[in-house]
Structure 1
Amino acid sequence: MLRDDIKAATITAMKAGEKERIAALRLIGAKIKDRDIELRTSSKDMADDHLVIEVLQKMAKQRRESIQMFEDGGRQELADKEKGELAVIEEFLPQQMSEAETTAAIEAIKAELGASSLKDMGPVMAALKERHGAQLDMSKASGMVKAALS
């Protein structure tokens, strides 16, 4: 399980004295615990690895946005810190699908559902997320689905 891998990596980093890595791994652990607490009050039941992947994807997206803003603002030292955290986060994410693989998956779902217009975008996105959600950046996939359906 991913949760155990993250805990083991934290222990290894602590033994090696890697301060930046420890900080990033503890941040991941804290976000996962926050999500666990959120789910206690909700009726949604989610598989553990799916929950961890969802948290990691959200964290990665936030880091990418921060990196862009820091670089635009001329704050390279902060951008470098975010890049370090992003590298640690991405270690635990599943391998992302290439653009060609994403396009092929979209075309397969489109054909399977008989989708032909933008009205069909919701069901196509739902199927895409269900089948390939862990391996996709859904915001990029959304643009690709929209282009494929228009």
Structure 2
Amino acid sequence: MSLKSTIEAEIKQAMLAKDKDRLRALRAIKSQILLAETEKGNEGELTEETELKLLTKAAKQRKDSIEVFEKQSRDDLAATEKSELEVIESFLPKQLSEAEVEAEVSQIIQQVGAAGPQDMGKVMGAATKKLAGKADGKMISSLAKKLLS
């Protein structure tokens, strides 16, 4: 079952349950899916990889918004974003722990034959492909820097 049909079914359930927070988040995801489907160059149906990128982007936007709202002491807006983030994360694959990401990155360093900080680009390219949706890019980057130095 595609992400779009799953989201549509979840929207119906949220409407019946009168869960406004979940409904708002699901509608935001559906909106992004529809925009991606009608984007120039797309044939309609999205691939799993594209769907994963959409969800990851939406989660990152929510995390950034939460950070900004908390700095501005807007707890009401931060709470809204947190509830939406929880819904989005329920559709993402399970996130890896820092230790698991470190193990993966060190394995990638060995595979690409990276010797030092000058090979950061090679490592990040391979790591972001392999760990897409499973780990935060900032975490991957910081661990790669640490392991390469």
Q: TM-score of the superposition, structure 2-length normalised?
A: 0.90
Q: Is the 8 A contact 1:115 1:124 kept in 2?
A: yes
CA distance in 1, matches of 2:46, 2:108: 24
| Displacement of 1:4 | 2.5
Aligned length: 147
Query: What is residue 54 of structure 1 aligned with on the other side?
Result: 53
How far apart in 2 are the matches of 1:37 and 1:50? 17
- Equivalent residue, structure 1, for 2:102: 103
Deviations 1:81-107 (A, max 9, x none): 111111111110100111001000011
Residues of 2 paired with 1:108 and 1:116: CA distance?
Answer: 13
Of all paired residues, the percent bearing the same amino acid is 39
Contact 2:52–2:133 (8 Å) recurs in 1: yes
TM-score (norm 1): 0.89
CA contact (8 A) 1:3 1:49 kept: no
Residue 141 of structure 2 corresponds to 142
Q: Paired residue for 1:29?
A: 30
1:80-119 alignment runs, 5 A limit: 80-119=79-118
Q: Aligned residue for 2:73? A: 74
Q: Structure 1 stretches of 5 or more lacking a match? A: none
Alpha-carbon offset, residue 134 of structure 1: 2.0
Secondary structure at the counterpart of residue 133 of structure 1: coil
Q: Indicate the larger mover: 29-38 or 63-72.
A: 29-38
Q: Which has the higher helix share?
A: 1
User: Matched residues in 2 for 1:36 and 1:9: separation?
Assistant: 19
CA distance in 1, matches of 2:36, 2:52: 11
